[in-house]
Amino acid sequence: MPAESRLPDDVDPGTCAAFRDVLDRVGSKWAIAIIAAASDGPIRFAELHRAIPGISRRMLTLTLRALERDGLLVRTVHPTVPPQVEYAVTPLAEELFASTRALSDWAANNHEKVAAARAAYDGGEAADR
């Protein structure tokens, strides 16, 4: 007996794969932090690096490239010596950042409940499941 799909009839499985791909990008460890840091206006690489504790220069570079590729950031090179490079969010990233604020608010309001649930689960209270 084949497993039935849990997807609504109007949802194409290919669309779900594309949806997951986008969520994987924006849900990465650093993407939203970079977008948040750049949301107040153009920002240089060194400023971004200082604004995001714990990110390596290499990971910052890789994530910036991915966000630029996805249309979430614009990279501008100013013709100076040495060249100055700035990153700015696009309207698409501004929309994403606004959407993540609701999730951030939820996390801020519920992190203690989640921590308590984890502690209860880890303490064996979920052993009957």
Question: What average pLDDT values come out for the chain (129 residues) when binned by 10 residues?
Answer: 58 72 81 93 95 96 95 94 93 91 89 94 70
Chain position carrying tokens 């039935």: 4
Report pTM.
Answer: 0.74
Q: What is the reported pLDDT for 11?
A: 66
What local confidence, expressed as pLDDT, does residue 10 receive?
65
- The answer to whether 48 and 106 have CB atoms below 8 angstroms apart is no
